[in-house]
Amino acid sequence: FIDGIDTIGKSRDGGRFGGGNDEREQTLNQLLAELDGFDPGKGIIVLGATNRPEVLDKALLRPGRFDRRITVDRPNLAGRLATLQVHTRSIHLAEDVNLEKIAQATAGCVGADLANLVNEAALRAVRLGRSAVNQNDLLAAFETVIAGSEKKGTVITDEEKRIIAYHEVGHALVAAKQKNAQPVSKITIVPHTQGALGYTLHLPEEEKFLNTKAELHAMLVGFLAGRAAEELVFDTVTTGAGRSSEEVVCHTMTSGAANDIERATEMARNLVARFGMCEEFDMMALGSVQNQYLDGTYSMSCAQETYAAADRAVIAIIRQCHEVARRMLEENRELLDKIAAYLLKKETITGQEMMAIIEGRDPETVDNYGATREEKQPLFRPSSPEVIEAPAKHIHIVSEPVPSPEEQTPEEQTPEEAQPDRDPEENEHK
């Protein structure tokens, strides 16, 4: 088994993938010769693995050498469930664990992500002093893997907190009000280590391989709804409230939406350039995907004018979706305020609580499946001095100096220490 076969099997066509390399080419030639030497009757199978099949030398892929290709793609629901079962085999699971739900939530994760998730869950269980991993540990670990852990020390002003709350509720409310959007499972305004000041977590109900244009539009509207909510709520603050208009402007356009904007733009660009969902370009692909198994970057390969026209089409889509998001929030302004107030009070709420507010029920009474906050136990052990455990009793520190053997005079020697020196002599005399 040769892992990373692309390091020695890179195409000898030096011009395309960086200059030629004599040593590597010799290794490749040797490998090709050796592969030909295998007797087909001996039952030896040679395997190679790579993330970049497109750079491999063509000669390496001819029949008789590496002639079969098996793509190990991101696992589907059944695959993720089986992977989770493998990784949880060696840890104690509580009875409430439902791996199927976790597999459902982790669409798009690869095997290594799932292994990491199980490990995080086990660490959390240990930190909370339990001997078995429960469902909440797994759900919390899932969030740790995608969003990082909660940042305890971040100081956020009340005004910023209000903006973040409205931003996140904007995302969540628009998702709840649209037919084609994924349900919201959690909204939080607790800052996380991967840079997010708050986030809205969507859990798909079923795995999807095809997305309709309407669903993609719904996602786009959802991405833009955070900023739309900020605009809607904080634009109405006038100078009469004791602030200058410049201040209001910089408050309403916060930098927190940068990631939303990036994702929305990427999606709109995909609609236009890859999925053929734009009138103007019909079914013309404007570029191609590079490094399919690594980052999957999309590079445009069209004329300058087409490129510019595609950008205009992207802007038109984003503008339209932004407008839809804003209108939707304007129509539901009362709910927006209600949910934001509830979120500000609780800091983390579940999708069920939000749905309860939307449907006019009391959010405190809903059954909170997937709420990762355990009511009585804090996430981490508190570190305030009054609750720090007393140090273990049987450890004591020796503070008397221990003299080195050279400084010891014969008088100071205890009988036990002196005994071994004297004994051999006595034995000789005897």
Binding residues for Zn ion (CB under 5 A)? 226, 260
Kindly state the smallest distance separating residue 134's Cβ from Zn ion, in Å.
30
From the list 120, 150, 168, 353, the catalytic residue is 168
Strand order, beta sheet including 184-188: 199-202, 184-188, 348-350
Question: By C-beta, is 120 or 260 nearer to Zn ion?
Answer: 260
Ranked by CB distance to Zn ion, the top (closest) residue is: 226
Rounded-to-integer distance, Cα 254 and Cα 170, Å:
14
Which residue in the block uniquely carries the two structure tokens 């809903």? 366
DSSP string over 215-284: HHHHHHHHHHHHHHHHHHHHSS--GGGS--HHHHHHHHS-GGGHHHHHHHHHHHHHHHHTS--BGGGBT-
* CB distance 296 to 289 below 8 Å: yes
Q: What are the structure tokens assigned to 186, written together?
A: 């959690």
61-68: list long-range contacts, CB under 8 Å, 24+ apart.
64/35, 64/36, 65/32, 65/35, 65/36, 66/5, 66/35
Question: By C-beta, is 260 or 353 nearer to Zn ion?
Answer: 260
Question: By C-beta, is 108 or 195 nearer to Zn ion?
Answer: 195
Question: By C-beta, is 116 or 254 nearer to Zn ion?
Answer: 254
* CB distance 328 to 225 below 8 Å: yes
Kindly state the smallest distance separating residue 16's Cβ from Zn ion, in Å.
40
Total Cβ atoms within 10 A of residue 182 = 19
Which residue in the block uniquely carries the two structure tokens 């034995």? 427
**147 membership: H or E segment, kind and range:** helix 135-147
Question: By C-beta, is 229 or 317 nearer to Zn ion?
Answer: 229
Kindly state the smallest distance separating residue 263's Cβ from Zn ion, in Å.
9
Question: By C-beta, is 10 or 167 nearer to Zn ion?
Answer: 167
Rounded-to-integer distance, Cα 379 and Cα 125, Å:
10
Kindly state the smallest distance separating residue 202's Cβ from Zn ion, in Å.
12
Paired sense of beta strands 184-188 and 348-350, if any: antiparallel
Give yes or no: 374 in active site: no
Which residue in the block uniquely carries the two structure tokens 């990373």? 4
Q: What is the dihedral of CA 94, 109, 154, 231, to 10 degrees?
A: -120
Q: Which residues are catalytic?
A: 168
